[in-house]
Protein backbone atom coordinates (compact mmCIF):
# COMPACT_ATOMS: atom_id res chain seq x y z
CA UNK A 1 0.00 0.00 0.00
CA UNK A 2 1.17 3.59 -0.60
CA UNK A 3 3.41 4.80 2.21
CA UNK A 4 3.89 1.36 3.79
CA UNK A 5 7.66 1.78 3.43
CA UNK A 6 8.55 -0.22 0.29
CA UNK A 7 11.27 2.15 -0.88
CA UNK A 8 12.78 2.64 2.59
CA UNK A 9 12.87 -1.12 3.10
CA UNK A 10 14.45 -1.60 -0.35
CA UNK A 11 17.22 0.79 0.65
CA UNK A 12 17.79 -1.16 3.87
CA UNK A 13 17.92 -4.46 1.96
CA UNK A 14 20.37 -3.14 -0.61
CA UNK A 15 22.66 -1.88 2.19
CA UNK A 16 22.48 -5.31 3.83
CA UNK A 17 23.08 -7.35 0.67
CA UNK A 18 25.71 -5.09 -0.89
CA UNK A 19 27.09 -6.28 -4.22
CA UNK A 20 25.05 -9.52 -3.97
CA UNK A 21 21.98 -7.72 -5.24
CA UNK A 22 20.84 -6.05 -8.42
CA UNK A 23 18.23 -3.31 -8.07
CA UNK A 24 15.47 -2.27 -10.45
CA UNK A 25 13.20 0.72 -10.00
CA UNK A 26 9.81 0.47 -11.72
CA UNK A 27 8.33 3.68 -10.34
CA UNK A 28 8.41 6.24 -13.17
CA UNK A 29 7.04 9.04 -10.99
CA UNK A 30 9.40 8.81 -8.01
CA UNK A 31 11.50 11.95 -7.53
CA UNK A 32 13.98 10.73 -4.92
CA UNK A 33 15.38 7.25 -4.27
CA UNK A 34 17.43 6.37 -1.19
CA UNK A 35 19.34 3.74 -3.23
CA UNK A 36 21.03 3.64 -6.63
CA UNK A 37 19.17 1.33 -9.02
CA UNK A 38 21.08 -0.63 -11.65
CA UNK A 39 18.09 -0.36 -13.97
CA UNK A 40 15.73 2.58 -13.67
CA UNK A 41 12.47 2.96 -15.62
CA UNK A 42 13.06 6.74 -15.52
CA UNK A 43 16.06 6.32 -17.83
CA UNK A 44 13.80 4.79 -20.49
CA UNK A 45 10.48 6.58 -20.04
CA UNK A 46 9.90 10.25 -19.25
CA UNK A 47 6.80 10.20 -17.04
CA UNK A 48 6.07 13.95 -17.43
CA UNK A 49 6.36 13.71 -21.22
CA UNK A 50 4.00 10.69 -21.23
CA UNK A 51 1.51 12.79 -19.26
CA UNK A 52 1.55 15.66 -21.75
CA UNK A 53 1.99 13.63 -24.96
CA UNK A 54 -0.85 11.22 -24.20
CA UNK A 55 -2.92 13.82 -22.33
CA UNK A 56 -3.10 11.68 -19.20
CA UNK A 57 -3.52 12.19 -15.47
CA UNK A 58 -0.85 11.01 -12.98
CA UNK A 59 -2.15 7.42 -12.59
CA UNK A 60 -2.80 6.93 -16.32
CA UNK A 61 0.73 8.15 -17.03
CA UNK A 62 2.21 5.62 -14.56
CA UNK A 63 0.30 2.78 -16.26
CA UNK A 64 1.31 3.97 -19.75
CA UNK A 65 4.96 4.41 -18.70
CA UNK A 66 4.94 0.85 -17.36
CA UNK A 67 3.34 -0.39 -20.57
CA UNK A 68 6.03 1.33 -22.64
CA UNK A 69 8.74 -0.11 -20.41
CA UNK A 70 7.29 -3.64 -20.50
CA UNK A 71 7.68 -3.67 -24.31
CA UNK A 72 11.42 -3.52 -23.68
CA UNK A 73 11.46 -6.04 -20.87
CA UNK A 74 13.14 -8.69 -23.01
CA UNK A 75 16.28 -6.55 -23.02
CA UNK A 76 16.08 -6.26 -19.22
CA UNK A 77 15.80 -10.05 -18.95
CA UNK A 78 18.88 -10.47 -21.14
CA UNK A 79 20.87 -8.15 -18.86
CA UNK A 80 19.64 -10.02 -15.77
CA UNK A 81 20.49 -13.41 -17.26
CA UNK A 82 24.02 -12.21 -18.00
CA UNK A 83 24.47 -11.32 -14.29
CA UNK A 84 23.47 -14.61 -12.71
CA UNK A 85 27.02 -15.71 -11.91
CA UNK A 86 27.74 -12.61 -9.84
CA UNK A 87 24.44 -11.66 -8.21
CA UNK A 88 22.27 -13.54 -5.75
CA UNK A 89 19.16 -11.38 -5.56
CA UNK A 90 17.29 -9.12 -7.96
CA UNK A 91 15.12 -6.66 -6.06
CA UNK A 92 12.39 -4.72 -7.82
CA UNK A 93 10.66 -1.67 -6.39
CA UNK A 94 7.12 -1.09 -7.63
CA UNK A 95 5.18 2.18 -8.06
CA UNK A 96 3.50 3.74 -5.03
CA UNK A 97 0.14 3.32 -6.76
CA UNK A 98 0.51 -0.41 -6.45
CA UNK A 99 -2.61 -1.26 -8.47
CA UNK A 100 -0.96 0.31 -11.52
CA UNK A 101 1.47 -2.60 -11.33
CA UNK A 102 -0.57 -5.47 -9.90
CA UNK A 103 -3.67 -4.91 -12.02
CA UNK A 104 -2.08 -3.81 -15.27
CA UNK A 105 -1.13 -5.85 -18.31
CA UNK A 106 2.47 -4.66 -17.97
CA UNK A 107 2.63 -5.90 -14.35
CA UNK A 108 1.52 -9.34 -15.53
CA UNK A 109 4.01 -9.30 -18.43
CA UNK A 110 6.87 -8.33 -16.12
CA UNK A 111 6.10 -10.83 -13.33
CA UNK A 112 5.39 -13.71 -15.68
CA UNK A 113 8.53 -13.03 -17.79
CA UNK A 114 10.62 -12.90 -14.63
CA UNK A 115 9.14 -16.07 -13.21
CA UNK A 116 9.91 -18.00 -16.41
CA UNK A 117 13.61 -17.17 -15.96
CA UNK A 118 14.12 -16.84 -12.20
CA UNK A 119 12.52 -18.01 -8.95
CA UNK A 120 10.26 -15.00 -8.35
CA UNK A 121 8.71 -13.96 -5.06
CA UNK A 122 6.42 -11.08 -4.16
CA UNK A 123 6.94 -9.15 -0.95
CA UNK A 124 3.91 -7.42 0.46
CA UNK A 125 5.07 -4.61 2.75
CA UNK A 126 2.55 -3.80 5.50
CA UNK A 127 2.49 -0.71 7.67
CA UNK A 128 2.30 -2.43 11.07
CA UNK A 129 1.11 0.72 12.86
CA UNK A 130 -1.93 0.97 10.62
CA UNK A 131 -2.53 -2.79 10.39
CA UNK A 132 -3.18 -3.06 14.12
CA UNK A 133 -6.68 -1.81 13.34
CA UNK A 134 -8.99 -4.70 12.56
CA UNK A 135 -10.46 -3.20 9.38
CA UNK A 136 -7.07 -2.06 7.96
CA UNK A 137 -5.58 -5.46 8.73
CA UNK A 138 -8.43 -7.21 6.90
CA UNK A 139 -8.20 -4.85 3.89
CA UNK A 140 -4.45 -5.48 3.64
CA UNK A 141 -4.83 -9.25 3.85
CA UNK A 142 -7.56 -9.27 1.20
CA UNK A 143 -5.35 -7.17 -1.04
CA UNK A 144 -2.32 -9.39 -0.46
CA UNK A 145 -4.42 -12.49 -1.14
CA UNK A 146 -5.78 -11.03 -4.38
CA UNK A 147 -2.24 -10.20 -5.53
CA UNK A 148 -1.06 -13.72 -4.84
CA UNK A 149 -4.14 -15.12 -6.55
CA UNK A 150 -3.49 -12.99 -9.64
CA UNK A 151 0.27 -13.49 -9.89
CA UNK A 152 0.29 -17.13 -8.70
CA UNK A 153 3.66 -16.44 -7.07
CA UNK A 154 4.80 -17.19 -3.52
CA UNK A 155 4.45 -14.24 -1.19
CA UNK A 156 6.26 -12.96 1.88
CA UNK A 157 4.49 -10.49 4.14
CA UNK A 158 6.93 -8.00 5.67
CA UNK A 159 5.34 -6.35 8.69
CA UNK A 160 7.24 -3.07 8.52
CA UNK A 161 7.85 -0.18 10.93
CA UNK A 162 8.30 -2.40 13.99
CA UNK A 163 10.53 0.29 15.47
CA UNK A 164 7.23 2.14 16.00
CA UNK A 165 4.83 -0.69 16.77
CA UNK A 166 5.21 -4.37 17.69
CA UNK A 167 3.75 -6.79 15.14
CA UNK A 168 2.91 -9.40 17.82
CA UNK A 169 -0.85 -8.89 17.68
CA UNK A 170 -0.93 -9.16 13.85
CA UNK A 171 1.02 -12.42 13.95
CA UNK A 172 -1.41 -13.73 16.56
CA UNK A 173 -4.36 -12.82 14.33
CA UNK A 174 -2.79 -14.80 11.50
CA UNK A 175 -1.84 -17.81 13.63
CA UNK A 176 -5.12 -18.16 15.46
CA UNK A 177 -8.18 -16.57 14.04
CA UNK A 178 -10.09 -16.78 17.34
CA UNK A 179 -7.79 -14.00 18.62
CA UNK A 180 -8.89 -11.91 15.64
CA UNK A 181 -12.53 -12.63 16.50
CA UNK A 182 -11.88 -11.44 20.07
CA UNK A 183 -10.28 -8.23 18.79
CA UNK A 184 -13.25 -7.67 16.53
CA UNK A 185 -15.75 -8.07 19.36
CA UNK A 186 -13.81 -5.39 21.28
CA UNK A 187 -14.25 -2.83 18.51
CA UNK A 188 -18.00 -2.80 19.09
CA UNK A 189 -18.44 -2.10 15.37
CA UNK A 190 -21.75 -2.63 13.66
CA UNK A 191 -22.73 -6.28 13.51
CA UNK A 192 -22.85 -6.42 9.71
CA UNK A 193 -19.10 -5.66 9.52
CA UNK A 194 -18.38 -8.04 12.35
CA UNK A 195 -20.13 -10.89 10.62
CA UNK A 196 -18.46 -10.04 7.31
CA UNK A 197 -15.06 -9.92 9.03
CA UNK A 198 -15.76 -13.28 10.68
CA UNK A 199 -16.53 -14.92 7.34
CA UNK A 200 -13.51 -13.32 5.70
CA UNK A 201 -11.23 -14.37 8.56
CA UNK A 202 -12.36 -17.98 8.15
CA UNK A 203 -11.74 -17.81 4.40
CA UNK A 204 -8.31 -16.26 4.83
CA UNK A 205 -7.25 -18.89 7.39
CA UNK A 206 -6.10 -21.12 4.53
CA UNK A 207 -4.16 -18.20 2.99
CA UNK A 208 -2.37 -17.53 6.30
CA UNK A 209 -1.46 -21.21 6.76
CA UNK A 210 1.14 -21.15 3.98
CA UNK A 211 1.99 -17.46 4.04
CA UNK A 212 5.52 -16.51 5.08
CA UNK A 213 5.65 -13.51 7.37
CA UNK A 214 8.29 -11.58 9.21
CA UNK A 215 8.69 -8.40 11.21
CA UNK A 216 11.04 -5.75 9.85
CA UNK A 217 12.01 -2.13 10.12
CA UNK A 218 13.09 -0.24 7.05
CA UNK A 219 14.31 2.49 9.35
CA UNK A 220 16.59 0.44 11.63
CA UNK A 221 17.26 -2.69 9.57
CA UNK A 222 15.84 -4.97 12.26
CA UNK A 223 14.48 -8.26 10.90
CA UNK A 224 16.32 -8.30 7.56
CA UNK A 225 17.87 -11.72 8.33
CA UNK A 226 14.46 -13.16 9.24
CA UNK A 227 13.11 -11.71 6.01
CA UNK A 228 15.87 -13.36 3.94
CA UNK A 229 15.09 -16.72 5.58
CA UNK A 230 11.44 -16.27 4.52
CA UNK A 231 12.64 -15.47 1.00
CA UNK A 232 14.71 -18.67 0.98
CA UNK A 233 11.79 -20.82 1.98
CA UNK A 234 9.49 -19.01 -0.50
CA UNK A 235 12.14 -19.78 -3.14
CA UNK A 236 11.85 -23.52 -2.35
CA UNK A 237 8.08 -23.16 -2.49
CA UNK A 238 8.43 -21.56 -5.92
CA UNK A 239 10.25 -24.63 -7.26
CA UNK A 240 8.03 -27.16 -5.47
CA UNK A 241 4.63 -25.76 -6.29
CA UNK A 242 4.58 -22.69 -8.46
CA UNK A 243 7.20 -23.87 -10.95
CA UNK A 244 5.29 -27.13 -11.56
CA UNK A 245 2.06 -25.20 -11.91
CA UNK A 246 3.74 -22.89 -14.40
CA UNK A 247 5.11 -25.81 -16.39
CA UNK A 248 1.63 -27.31 -16.51
CA UNK A 249 0.24 -23.98 -17.70
CA UNK A 250 3.00 -23.74 -20.29
CA UNK A 251 2.32 -27.34 -21.44
CA UNK A 252 -1.38 -26.50 -21.64
CA UNK A 253 -0.56 -23.47 -23.79
CA UNK A 254 1.70 -25.54 -26.07
CA UNK A 255 -0.96 -28.28 -26.30
CA UNK A 256 -3.54 -25.62 -27.16
CA UNK A 257 -1.19 -24.28 -29.82
CA UNK A 258 -0.73 -27.80 -31.20
CA UNK A 259 -4.49 -28.32 -31.30
CA UNK A 260 -4.93 -25.06 -33.24
CA UNK A 261 -2.15 -26.13 -35.63
CA UNK A 262 -3.77 -29.56 -36.16
CA UNK A 263 -7.14 -27.93 -36.79
CA UNK A 264 -5.61 -25.52 -39.34
CA UNK A 265 -3.82 -28.40 -41.05
CA UNK A 266 -7.08 -30.38 -41.24
CA UNK A 267 -8.83 -27.37 -42.77
CA UNK A 268 -6.00 -26.91 -45.26
CA UNK A 269 -6.14 -30.61 -46.28
CA UNK A 270 -9.90 -30.33 -46.73
CA UNK A 271 -9.47 -27.21 -48.90
CA UNK A 272 -6.92 -29.03 -51.09
CA UNK A 273 -9.24 -32.04 -51.32
CA UNK A 274 -12.21 -29.78 -52.32
CA UNK A 275 -10.00 -28.03 -54.85
CA UNK A 276 -8.99 -31.37 -56.38
CA UNK A 277 -12.63 -32.46 -56.61
CA UNK A 278 -13.58 -29.20 -58.32
CA UNK A 279 -10.76 -29.58 -60.81
CA UNK A 280 -11.69 -33.19 -61.68
CA UNK A 281 -15.35 -32.11 -62.16
CA UNK A 282 -14.09 -29.41 -64.55
CA UNK A 283 -12.32 -32.15 -66.52
CA UNK A 284 -8.87 -31.17 -65.34
CA UNK A 285 -8.95 -27.87 -67.27
CA UNK A 286 -6.73 -25.03 -66.19
CA UNK A 287 -8.35 -22.13 -64.48
CA UNK A 288 -8.67 -18.84 -66.34
CA UNK A 289 -5.94 -17.16 -64.40
CA UNK A 290 -3.07 -19.62 -65.04
CA UNK A 291 -2.74 -19.31 -68.82
CA UNK A 292 0.66 -20.31 -70.15
CA UNK A 293 1.84 -22.02 -66.99
CA UNK A 294 2.07 -25.76 -67.67
CA UNK A 295 2.81 -26.72 -64.08
CA UNK A 296 -0.34 -25.05 -62.87
CA UNK A 297 1.18 -24.86 -59.42
Ligand X SMILES: Nc1nc2c(ncn2[C@@H]2O[C@H](COP(=O)(O)OP(=O)(O)OP(=O)(O)O)[C@@H](O)[C@H]2O)c(=O)[nH]1
Q: Which three-class secondary structure state does DSSP give residue 180?
A: helix
202 to 241: interface string for ligand X, x by CB under 6 A: ---------------xxx----------------------
- Binding to ligand X (CB under 6 A): which residues in 143-162? 160-161
34 to 73: interface string for ligand X, x by CB under 6 A: ----------------------------------------
Q: What is the Cα–Cα distance from 251 to 242, expressed in whole angstroms? A: 14
- The least distance separating ligand X from the CB of residue 230, rounded to whole angstroms, comes to 17
Q: Which is nearer to ligand X, 28 or 218 (CB)?
A: 218
The window from 1-9, 178-186, 195-203, 261-269 that contacts ligand X (CB under 6 A) reads: 1-9
Choosing from 164, 196, 202, 290, the residue that interacts with ligand X (CB under 6 A) is 164
The window from 4-12, 71-79, 190-198, 273-281 that contacts ligand X (CB under 6 A) reads: 4-12
* Residue 5 binding ligand X, by CB under 6 A: yes
Give yes or no for a contact between 62 and 29, defined as CB atoms under 8 angstroms apart: yes
Q: Which is nearer to ligand X, 154 or 223 (CB)?
A: 223
- The least distance separating ligand X from the CB of residue 220, rounded to whole angstroms, comes to 7
- The least distance separating ligand X from the CB of residue 227, rounded to whole angstroms, comes to 12
- The least distance separating ligand X from the CB of residue 20, rounded to whole angstroms, comes to 22
Contact footprint for ligand X (CB under 6 A): 2-8, 96, 160-161, 163-164, 217-219
Amino acid sequence: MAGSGKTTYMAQLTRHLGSECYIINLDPAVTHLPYTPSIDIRDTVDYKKVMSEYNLGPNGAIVTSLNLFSTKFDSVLKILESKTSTIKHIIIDTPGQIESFTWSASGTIITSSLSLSFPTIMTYVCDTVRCCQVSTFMSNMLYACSMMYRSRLPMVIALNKIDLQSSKIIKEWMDDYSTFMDAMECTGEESYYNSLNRSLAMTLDKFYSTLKRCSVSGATGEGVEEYLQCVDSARSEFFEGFWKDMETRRDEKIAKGEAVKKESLKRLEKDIEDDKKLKSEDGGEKGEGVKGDDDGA
